[in-house]
Amino acid sequence: MTAATALIGIGLLATQDDALGEIAGAAVVTAGEQIVWVGPAGSVPEADDQVDMGGRAVVPGFVDSHAHLVFAGDRAAEFEARMAGTPYAAGGIRTTVAATRAASDDQLRANLAALAGELLRAGVTTFECKSGYGLDVATEARSLRVAREFTDETTYLGAHVVPPDIGRDDYVALLTGPMLAACAPHARWVDVFCERGAFDADEARAVLTAGIGAGLGARMHAGQLEAGRGVQLAVELGAASADHCTHLSGDDVEALAASDTVATLLPLAEFSTRSPYPDARRLLKAGVQTALATDCNPGSAYSTSMPLAIALAVREMGMTPAQAVRAATATGAKALRRNDIGRIAPGMRADLLVLDAPSYVHLAYRPGVPLVAQVWQGGRRVV
Ligand SMILES: [Zn+2]
């Protein structure tokens, strides 16, 4: 029988499980990679090992369902110019594309390993990773091959922008033909940047439909810069997630509320581009499943800090601390259509965080403070 470990002395346990709720004075028992028992500390069953959390709060490991981590170079100069008054527009990624195409696999791998380490220390125990800085068949495919070494949640985002060296129609044909064929074996998801300056709704439909036909799940970037047709297209195609959702029509909100498509909000992008934040309260009030993710990328949000995303969601987007933590865990898992992570309950993967605080509220109450004291992943302490 697998050895069991009891985590005792938990101050406040926010399970994100509807049946279990929040438990003050809790314990969790893990065996192997899984959680096998959750309840009040007074009735914890005997285990081989005991670890005392000393009254600190425990939450599920964060699920970052939206990140762009395979690239080379950085764009600090562009950020500096933007902060001096140059407005953000889609298309600045061409600098990163040139650096990524020129980089070796080992350089891409080293950069991704560093970012994955940052994510883990910030409490992210599962992350999604997109391609999208190759924009040619060879670089997109090797980007996904490298990403697969770090996560199962890999996303083919050849449809990030149209590169300058090819016509639009030819590029969409490449995206839905040879590039998809080369990338699909290394990807779980297909994504498209449906936005002015990137791909219109007809092109987005072609890309997602082809990806779905190749066995990939759909997700979409939509509504970052203006309300368009993207969100409703994501819903129509059964996408797992529509991401950004900063600018939404009333019909968009209704369509999301009536669907299984999660609205994934990315406040670090608004923070880093000095843009208006999405209205999370409006979405939650309408019954939309709402997740938070980092959108970590070198152009518009170069941060791996899920705790900062939580603090921004509370301070700027109208979420309560409880809603923000739910969005960064259980609803993030829904955005990846995963039912084994994002909650602390028997049968789930033992991915959990010990906070240097008595309650998860401190994640928003103490912005910028590194409160993630321990990270447990698959039943093992890794931070
Ligand atoms: Zn993105």
Q: Which distant-in-sequence residues (6+ apart) come within 8 Å of 12 by Cβ?
A: 22, 23, 24, 26, 57, 58, 358, 359, 360
Selection from 237, 343, 323 nearest residue 281 by Cα: 323
Compute the distance from residue 295 Cα to the ligand 1 centre, in Å: 5
Per DSSP, 14 falls in state E
- CA 221 to centroid of ligand 1, rounded, Å: 6
| Mean pLDDT to the nearest integer, 326-331 | 98
| pLDDT > 90? residue 295 | yes
CA 224 / ligand 1 centre spacing (Å): 9
- When computed from its CA atoms, the radius of gyration of the chain, rounded to whole angstroms, is 20
CA dihedral 357, 325, 333, 348 (to 10 degrees): 40
pLDDT of residue 1: 63
Instruction: Indicate the average pLDDT of the chain.
Output: 96
pLDDT of residue 288: 98
Ligand 1 centroid to residue 354 C-alpha, Å: 28
Give the count of beta carbons closer than 10 Å to the beta carbon of residue 236. 14
CATH 2.30.40.10 positions along the chain are 4-61+343-381
Can you name the CATH fold of 62-335? TIM Barrel (3.20.20)
What does the alpha-carbon distance between residue 96 and residue 73 come to, in Å, rounded to a whole number?
A: 6
Burial of 168 (0-12, 13-18, 19+ CB in 10 A): exposed
- Residue percentage of the chain with pLDDT more than 70: 99
65 Cα to the center of ligand 1, angstroms: 10
pLDDT tens digit sequence for 104-126: 999 999 999 999 999 999 999 99
Determine the average pLDDT of the residues in 324-339. 98
Confidence of residue 85 (pLDDT cuts 50, 70, 90): confident
Does 342 have pLDDT greater than 60?
A: yes
The confidence score (pLDDT) of residue 88 equals 63
| C-alpha of residue 177 to centroid of ligand 1, in Å | 23
Q: What is the pLDDT of residue 90?
A: 54
Digit-coded pLDDT (tens) for 147-178 = 999 999 999 999 999 999 899 999 999 999 99
User: Inter-axis angle of helices 137-148 and 105-121, to 10 degrees?
Assistant: 40
The fold for domain 4-61+343-381 equals Urease, subunit C; domain 1 (2.30.40)
Of 245, 119, 132, 237, whose CA–CA distance to 187 is shortest?
Answer: 132
Residues of the chain with CATH 3.20.20.140: 62-335
43-51 — which CB contacts under 8 Å span 24+ positions?
44/6, 44/8, 45/4, 45/6, 46/6, 47/4, 47/5, 47/6, 48/3, 48/4, 48/5, 49/3, 49/4, 49/5, 49/6, 50/5, 50/6, 50/8, 51/5, 51/6, 51/7, 51/8
Residue 297 pLDDT class (50, 70, 90 cuts): very high
Q: Residue 279 and residue 345: Cα distance in Å, rounded?
A: 30
Residue 320: phi, psi to the nearest 5? -80, 160
CA dihedral 233, 128, 34, 117 (to 10 degrees): -160
Determine the Cα–Cα distance for residues 129 and 268; give it in Å rounded to an integer. Answer: 16
Distance of CA 160 from the midpoint of ligand 1 (Å): 9
Q: Residue 92 above 90 pLDDT? A: no
Q: Residue 42 is encoded by which pair of tokens?
A: 């007074």
Distance 254 CA to ligand 1 centre (A): 23
pLDDT at res. 93? 85
User: Helix, strand or coil for residue 210?
Assistant: helix
Identify whether the C-beta of residue 282 lies closer than 8 Å to the C-beta of residue 260.
no
Can you give the pTM of this predicted structure?
A: 0.97
Q: Ligand 1 center to residue 359 CA distance, Å?
A: 30
Of 344, 276, 250, give the one whose Cα is nearest residue 28: 344
pLDDT digits (tens, 9 = 90+) for 41-64: 999 999 999 999 999 999 999 999
Q: How far is the CA of 363 from the centre of ligand 1 (A)?
A: 23
